[in-house]
Chain A
Amino acid sequence: KQEVTQIPAALSVPEGENLVLNCSFTDSAIYNLQWFRQDPGKGLTSLLLIQSSQREQTSGRLNASLDKSSGRSTLYIAASQPGDSATYLCAVKEAGNNRKLIWGLGTSLAVNP
């Protein structure tokens, strides 16, 4: 059974720091992995989607990597800003007929001015 774990559960950093959020999954048979951002009481915004054949994706200050064989993904945020404060969730799309999204519990990020 696929399980997705995100470490750390919470993170507080000063503005300007580069930071890394981690996501691990137990079954390497995946179609893709998505990183989402969620502000309190709001919907989710898809930040980056990495297909299983890809190693990384970049968007602005965000870079996500995928190592399928070791069951790991990282989200790198460069030069963090207070506006980056949110919960970041990763979700893995299972291979096979079901192809459900399996979610991690998220990392709650606070970037302090």
Chain B
Amino acid sequence: DTEVTQTPKHLVMGMTNKKSLKCEQHMGHRAMYWYKQKAKKPPELMFVYSYEKLSINESVPSRFSPECPNSSLLNLHLHALQPEDSALYLCASSRTGGDEKLFFGSGTQLSVL
């Protein structure tokens, strides 16, 4: 299994809603990532978990809250988002977080109304 699975594929939420994005991998990878991608732009790194501990937070606003319940799962909790947060949210994993290939999920397309 070389897949990273993200749910939901699409999400529409109001600015007062609370929602969560989910990501799962069963490749035994110990590093997991959240990226945000706007149309026609490259992905922007948000968070990195290494061995289930948050190792990088790229100064992301607190309305985004990551969680890594175990080595296979990664969540992104969303609360009080702004319309400018509308984007494709991508989860990725790699074996150890070192200099190896990144495996991406197919993303969650988020629209904030």
Contact = CB atoms under 8 A, between A and B. Distances in A.
Given A41-B109, A43-B107, A44-B90, A105 B102 contact: no
Contacts of B102: 34, 44, 46, 101
B45 A41 contact: no
Interface of A: 31-32, 34, 36, 41-46, 49, 51, 89, 91, 93, 99-101, 103-106
B85 to A, nearest CB: 17
A43 B2 CA distance: 14
A100 B104 contact: no
A32 B100 CA distance: 8
A44 to B, nearest CB: 4
Contacts of B100: 49
Interface string B29-51: 00000000000111101000000
B42 A89 contact: yes
Contacts of B43: 44, 103
Q: Which of A32, A44, A51, A106 has the most CB of B within 10 A?
A: A44
A42 B91 CA distance: 11
10 contacts: A34-B101, A41-B88, A42-B106, A43-B105, A43-B106, A44-B104, A46-B103, A49-B101, A104-B42, A105-B42
B99 interface: yes
A41 B102 CA distance: 18
A51 B99 CA distance: 8
Contacts of B40: 105
A91 B92 CA distance: 14
Interface string B77-108: 00000000000101010000001111111110
